[in-house]
């Protein structure tokens, strides 16, 4: 079995180690052995990868992925989700707990990890539920979940409406130093809403969800965070007001981090068009001013990570009236294209884009990887930044096809994904060990 790989003459972008330039990268026994400005000599029997014109970057990490197993394997499984992940350049994903058998126990955590070992493609890091059954009533056994391998606590798509309970979980999580990841939505403000409250919702005759439904909950939880000294991670931020509050909280030294999904920094509520359920998600696509604010926050460091909120759904979940459509889209295989669109537009530098997809997520959740220093895991993504391709949802490795980006042309594509020094995806094809 090959133990060495030499990437030659790549543009290596490694934000944590302040590297951005032409380098050779030598991988030995699953770890980065050397990063050199001078050309390196390949060891005997090493695989040599001519990476001229390519980027070699730390493997991407997605903090927000729905793998649907156990319970909804028709939409996605751990295996198919991992296939989609490596096709998108992701070497690690955090699996949300809102499966049909909720991950609120060590038993479910262990099942997810077992399925990930069987898939043998990318790292899967389970997140455990804050409350039993995601009901928002009684705290789950956080110690048991973390001991079994959970890296964060979250009720994901459900807000913790009970402020006292939210305060307790922030306090409790400090014992384990793990982040509490929150979906911020005041259900009394969003109740009955189907999309962002604005001109488009008025035109379509759909009940709107005001930005205050998110912003008010962000404000509440930042107050609780300041009091408890815990760690708060705000999922899929969508509003200018949320960004402003998080930016101010960071300046005050609070331990708050946040993520933004590619669809929220790319599309606004006009993408709903004439009731297109592929543009229906939670939080909803917001207004143009919110999109601009999210982009500014990606640039200035307020946002720590780009996370896809990969949410697979079947055809029947979307081919219904808009109000009845299930929220969410798949995102693992389009994330890089949408992120690089900001690079080509001059919004993000290549270094900042790579940081948001790799080093930032690793730092936020304390995960391995996210950089290419000697001794680090050889989790590597190779990108062809100028290659154009068109999204064909029917060719996704994900089991689901729900995307508003079908037919869209992107510039920049993953050509290889390496996990632990093993090539698991190359030139559009999986390299499975199974």
The domains located in the chain, with CATH, are: 4-56+376-430 (2.30.40.10), 60-365 (3.20.20.140)
Dmax (CA) of the chain: 68
Q: Is 309 annotated as a binding residue?
A: yes
Q: Is 406 annotated as a binding residue?
A: no
* Cα-based angle 19, 24, 25 (whole degrees, multiple of 5): 80
Q: Is 14 annotated as a binding residue?
A: no
Q: Is 66 annotated as a binding residue?
A: yes
Nearest to 162 by CA among 76, 109, 213, 221: 221
Q: Is 64 annotated as a binding residue?
A: yes
> pTM of the prediction?
0.97
| Given the residues 221, 309, 379, 392, the one annotated as active site | 309
CB under 8 Å, gap of 24 or more: what pairs does 311-317 form?
Answer: 311/66, 311/281, 311/402, 312/66, 312/68, 312/75, 312/76, 312/81, 312/398, 312/399, 312/400, 312/402, 313/75, 313/400, 313/402, 314/74, 314/75, 314/400, 315/401, 317/402
309 is catalytic: yes
Helix axes 212-228, 240-251, angle to 10 degrees: 20
pLDDT tens series, the chain, 434 aa: 558 999 999 999 999 999 999 999 999 999 999 999 999 999 999 999 999 999 999 999 999 999 999 999 999 999 999 999 999 999 999 999 999 999 999 999 999 999 999 999 999 999 999 999 999 999 999 999 999 999 999 999 999 999 999 999 999 999 999 999 999 999 999 999 999 999 999 999 999 999 999 999 999 999 999 999 999 999 999 999 999 999 999 999 999 999 999 999 999 999 999 999 999 999 999 999 999 999 999 999 999 999 999 999 999 999 999 999 999 999 999 999 999 999 999 999 999 999 999 999 999 999 999 999 999 999 999 999 999 999 999 999 999 999 999 999 999 999 999 999 999 999 999 998 75
């Amino acid at each position: 079995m090959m133990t060495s790989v030499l990437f030659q003459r790549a543009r290596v972008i490694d934000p944590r180690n302040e590297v951005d330039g032409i380098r050779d990268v030598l991988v030995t026994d699953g770890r980065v052995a050397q990063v050199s400005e001078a050309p390196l000599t390949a060891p005997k029997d090493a695989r040599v990868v001519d990476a001229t014109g390519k980027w070699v970057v730390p493997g991407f990490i997605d903090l927000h992925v729905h793998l649907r197993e156990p319970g909804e394997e028709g939409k996605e499984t751990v295996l198919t989700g991992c296939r989609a992940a490596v096709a998108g350049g992701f070497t690690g994903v955090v699996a949300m707990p809102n499966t049909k058998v909720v991950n609120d126990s060590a038993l479910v955590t262990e099942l997810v990890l077992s399925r990930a070992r069987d898939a043998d493609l990318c790292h899967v890091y389970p997140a455990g539920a804050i409350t039993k059954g995601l009901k928002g009533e009684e705290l789950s056994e956080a110690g048991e979940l973390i001991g079994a391998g959970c890296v964060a606590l979250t009720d994901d798509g459900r807000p913790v409406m009970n402020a006292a309970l939210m305060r307790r979980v922030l306090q409790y999580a400090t014992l384990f130093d793990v982040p509490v990841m929150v979906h911020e939505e005041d259900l009394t403000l969003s109740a009955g809403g189907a999309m962002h409250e604005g001109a488009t919702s008025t035109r379509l005759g759909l009940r709107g969800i005001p930005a205050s439904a998110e912003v008010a909950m962000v404000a509440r939880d930042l107050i609780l965070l300041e009091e408890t000294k815990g760690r708060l991670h705000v999922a899929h931020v969508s509003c200018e007001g949320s960004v402003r509050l998080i930016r101010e909280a960071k300046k005050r030294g609070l331990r708050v981090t946040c993520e933004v999904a590619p669809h929220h920094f790319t599309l606004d509520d006009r993408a709903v068009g004439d009731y297109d359920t592929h543009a229906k998600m939670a939080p909803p696509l917001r207004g143009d001013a919110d999109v601009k604010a999210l982009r500014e926050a990606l640039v200035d460091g307020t946002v720590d990570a780009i996370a896809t909120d990969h949410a697979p759904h079947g055809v029947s979940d979307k081919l219904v009236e808009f109000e009845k459509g299930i929220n969410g889209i798949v995102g693992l295989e389009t994330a890089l294209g949408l992120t690089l669109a900001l690079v080509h537009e001059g919004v993000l530098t290549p270094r900042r884009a790579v940081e948001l997809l790799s080093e930032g997520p690793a730092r936020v959740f304390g995960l391995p990887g996210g950089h290419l220093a000697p001794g680090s895991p050889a989790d590597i993504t190779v990108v062809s930044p100028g290659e154009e391709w068109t999204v064909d949802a029917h060719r996704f490795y994900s089991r689901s096809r729900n995307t508003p980006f079908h037919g869209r042309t992107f510039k920049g594509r993953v050509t290889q994904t390496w996990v632990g020094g093993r090539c698991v995806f190359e030139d559009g094809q999986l390299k499975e060990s199974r």
